[in-house]
Structure 1
């Protein structure tokens, strides 16, 4: 099964707007008991989250997983830092790119694959304001062309 396929739970829509995503990696997550239940219920948010590499391990910060309603005292802290499960070579590649080339590791989406919650992270370079404007113009032109074709075919 290719990377990023499965039942998509949450997506970071601003990631493609703010970054040029050059390479993606699939990472598992170390979760507590009620967190996976909240993720399956779709109560997770990737907005403002980011990945850091410390001591040869990848960690995701600011990913909000809402407390599980039936979790009572076993609930977790919604914004706790969670460990990501990647191969050592992948972590080394990510760390090298971040140090050398000024890349950022951006969470793209969370999905369920074979019963496990997976996080698709991307190695991205920040876009400048003029890049964002150019992308917006391209999208607008594409929409206009589709609208014109739709009207022509009717």
Structure 2
């Protein structure tokens, strides 16, 4: 039997296309044991997920973690709310920025640090307009063409 391959990080590729990233911060995430096992196997996705502040706590919503194959009846729900671990001062700053400026909290990356603890990189972001997305695509294409010629 072959050994399973473990994933060290998951990226939200659509986030940088859909949003202007203004600020980033690292947060811990509260997970169940079967969720950690599924994430290590790469069976999770950050697309369409976002964070929200509710009663002074930050929660990650709509993150997909496929149930662990060898789990029992104690297995987790795929899209449940997951609490994020931040200091009180950080939460208050985020709450103020989100309320005043109309910004959004989105996850950019989920990874395991050197100690094996799951961390999530959150971004304070503002949504891009359609013309901004088109401009970014044009710029990327011209850079690609320049690299081909060089």
State the TM-score, normalized to the length of structure 1: 0.90
- Output the aligned Cα RMSD: 1.0
- Structure 1: which 4+ aligned runs deviate by more than 4 Å? none
Aligned-partner Cα distance in 2 for 1:139–1:94: 31
Alignment of 1:128-147 (within 5 A): 128-147=129-148
- Which residue is 1:4 aligned to? none
SS state of the match for residue 70, structure 1?
Answer: coil
Matches within 5 A, 1:23-34: 23-34=23-34
1:102 maps to: 102
* TM-score (norm: length of structure 2): 0.92
Deviation at 1:74, TM superposition (A): 1.9
Structure 1 or 2: larger helix share? 1
Equivalent pairs counted in the alignment come to 143
Alignment of 1:2-81 (within 5 A): 8-81=8-81
CA contact (8 A) 1:49 1:62 kept: yes
Q: Distance in 2 between matches of 1:9 and 1:71?
A: 22
Structure 1: gaps spanning 5 or more residues? 1-6, 150-154
| Runs of 5+ unmatched residues, structure 2 | 1-6
- Secondary structure at the aligned position of 1:73 is classed as coil
Q: Does 2:117 correspond to 1:127?
A: no
How far did 1:9 drift? 2.3
Alignment partners' CA distance in 1, 2:36 and 2:136: 36
In structure 2, relative to structure 1, the CA distance for the partners of 1:67 and 1:58 (3 Å cut) is same
